[in-house]
Structure 1
Amino acid sequence: MGVLTNKIEREDLKPGDHIYSYRLAYTYSHHGIYVNEGNVIHFTRGEGQETGTGTVLDRFIGSSLPQRCPLDNPCLICDDQSKSDGVISTCIDCFLSGGDLYLYEYDVSRKFFLAKARGGTCTLASSEPPEQVIDRAFYFLRKGFGVYNVIKNNCEDFALCCKTGLQVIPTVSVGQSGQAASFQAAADVILSSSLEFLGRSSPLGFLTNNVTRLVGSYGKYCVNRLANDIGVRQDVRKVVLEEET
Structure 2
Amino acid sequence: MGLLTNRVERSGIKPGDHIYTYRAVFAYSHHGIFVGGSKVVHFTRVDTSSSSDFEVYSPTAECPTFPDCGFRQPRSGVVLSCLDCFLRSGSLYCFEYGVSPSVFMAKVRGGTCTTAASDPTDAVVHRAMYLLQNGFGNYDVFQNNCEDFALYCKTGLLTIERVGVGRSGQASSMIGAPLAALLSSPLKLLVPSPVGVAAVTAGMYCMSRYATDIGVRTDVIKVDVEDLAENLGLETTEEVAAENVVSDRQLIR
- Give the ranges of 4+ consecutive aligned residues of structure 1 lying more than 6 Å apart after TM superposition: none
Per-residue Cα deviation, 1:44-103 (whole angstroms, up to 9, x for no partner):
0122688xxxxxxxx8x533235x59x6x8212355853966001010011111210000
For structure 1, the residue ranges without an aligned partner over 5 or more in a row are 51-58
* Alpha-carbon contact 1:19-1:102 (below 8 Å) kept: yes
Matching residue of 1:75: 63
Give 1:7 shift. Answer: 0.5
Give 1:169 shift. Answer: 1.9
Matching residue of 2:194: 210
Give 1:14 shift. Answer: 0.5
Change (3 A) 1:49 1:234: farther
1:207 and 1:225 map into 2 onto residues whose CA distance is 23
2:190 and 2:216 map into 1 onto residues whose CA distance is 35
Give 1:12 shift. Answer: 1.3
For structure 2, the residue ranges without an aligned partner over 5 or more in a row are 228-236, 239-253
Give 1:160 shift. Answer: 0.3
Where 2:119 maps in the other structure, the secondary structure is: coil
Change (3 A) 1:49 1:209: farther
Change (3 A) 1:62 1:77: farther
Matching residue of 2:84: 93
1:82 and 1:208 map into 2 onto residues whose CA distance is 55
Change (3 A) 1:190 1:128: same
Matching residue of 1:45: 45
TM-score (norm: length of structure 1): 0.83
User: Are positions 1:159 and 2:150 aligned together?
Assistant: yes
TM-score (norm: length of structure 2): 0.81
User: Are positions 1:29 and 2:22 aligned together?
Assistant: no
* Equivalent AA in structure 2 for residue 138 of structure 1: M
Q: Percent identity?
A: 47
Give 1:168 shift. Answer: 1.2
* Alpha-carbon contact 2:105-2:206 (below 8 Å) kept: yes
Give the total of aligned pairs.
226
Residue among 133, 136, 149 paired with 1:142:
133
Residue among 222, 226, 229 paired with 1:238:
222
1:206 and 1:98 map into 2 onto residues whose CA distance is 48
* Alpha-carbon contact 2:156-2:225 (below 8 Å) kept: no
Structure 1 range deviating more: 77-86 or 176-185: 77-86
How well do the aligned residues superpose, as a CA RMSD in angstroms?
2.7
